[in-house]
Amino acid sequence: MNEIYNKIVQQLQQEGVLHVSLIDPDPIKQTIEDAGKMAKIAAAAGTDIIFIGGSTCFDRAYIDNTILDIKKQCNLPVILFPGSISGISAKADAALFMSLLNSTNHYYISGQQALASFTMKSFDMEPIGTAYLIVEPGSGAGWLGDVKLLPRSKPEISLGYALAAEYFGFKMVYLEAGSGSEATVPESIIRLIKKSLTIPIIVGGGIRTKADAVAIVNAGADLIVQGTILEEMLLKDHGKSLSETIAAIKLAGKKKLESSS
């Protein structure tokens, strides 16, 4: 039941960082065929994992078919990053089983998870318990999740939530600035959390350039997630800029491993 999570941990020990391509299975954003095409180019560019999710996924058949097409186009692990119960598909390899710890609404902390657990069980899906923490500006995820946004200027508040996540037994922490945000999670927050946590840290939201990605890895991110920029990186230049970004973060990951050994 921990197959995908164990693979992530093992790959982190070897490479120091993983790149995740987030594809939103939303017919308004792209067709099923384009999602498959994006995954194929992302895999060729060196991405390690495909996350499937978004705030507006509601049609399970569309999600299923998107994943099936992605799986035809590449051999990467496909992990659900569900915005709600309707984002769970039996076609994926595992799911981030997330609790939005800094929500003010218990529905997003444990309510929808209790309901989703039946579906997870019936699909025999690997759950990867993940604490989801949303940092200012938070974008749509912050608004939709009734979040008390973590302040950018007070990293110690984020640290408190991240430590609580590890003590609760979550397997990973996801620091989110919000999809398409004008600012990424600040390096000061990532750096402070990395000093105290032993579980992997995922960072996403607003990561556009190679320089952003490298800075976030150098600050301590173990997995970095790119979504909004992918379409531009993949369909416009056929993955050239994505492969440059991934090569740069893998180099940063290697240096991180060397300096810690």
Which residues bind to ligand 1GP, rule: CB under 6 A? Answer: 22, 141, 176, 179-181, 204-207, 225-229
Q: With respect to ligand 1GP, which residue has the nearer C-beta, 199 or 257?
A: 199
Q: With respect to ligand 1GP, which residue has the nearer C-beta, 27 or 180?
A: 180
Shortest Å, Cβ 253 to ligand 1GP:
19
Q: Tell me which DSSP letter residue 126 carries.
A: E
- CA-CA distance, 111 to 109, in Å (whole number)? 6
Dihedral, CA atoms, 212, 254, 195, 51, nearest 10 degrees? Answer: 60
Shortest Å, Cβ 228 to ligand 1GP:
3
Q: With respect to ligand 1GP, which residue has the nearer C-beta, 26 or 176?
A: 176
Alpha helices in the chain (DSSP H): 3-15, 32-45, 60-73, 106, 112-123, 139-144, 155-168, 187-196, 210-219, 230-231, 240-260
- CA-CA distance, 111 to 130, in Å (whole number)? 15
Q: With respect to ligand 1GP, which residue has the nearer C-beta, 83 or 155?
A: 83
Shortest Å, Cβ 32 to ligand 1GP:
19
Shortest Å, Cβ 175 to ligand 1GP:
9
- What residue number has its CB nearest to ligand 1GP? 204
Handedness of CA 136, 214, 179, 165 (dihedral sign): negative
Asked if 160 contacts 168 with a C-beta cutoff of 8 angstroms, the reply is no
| Closest among 36, 43, 116 to 82, alpha carbons compared | 116
Shortest Å, Cβ 15 to ligand 1GP:
20
Q: With respect to ligand 1GP, which residue has the nearer C-beta, 67 or 134?
A: 134
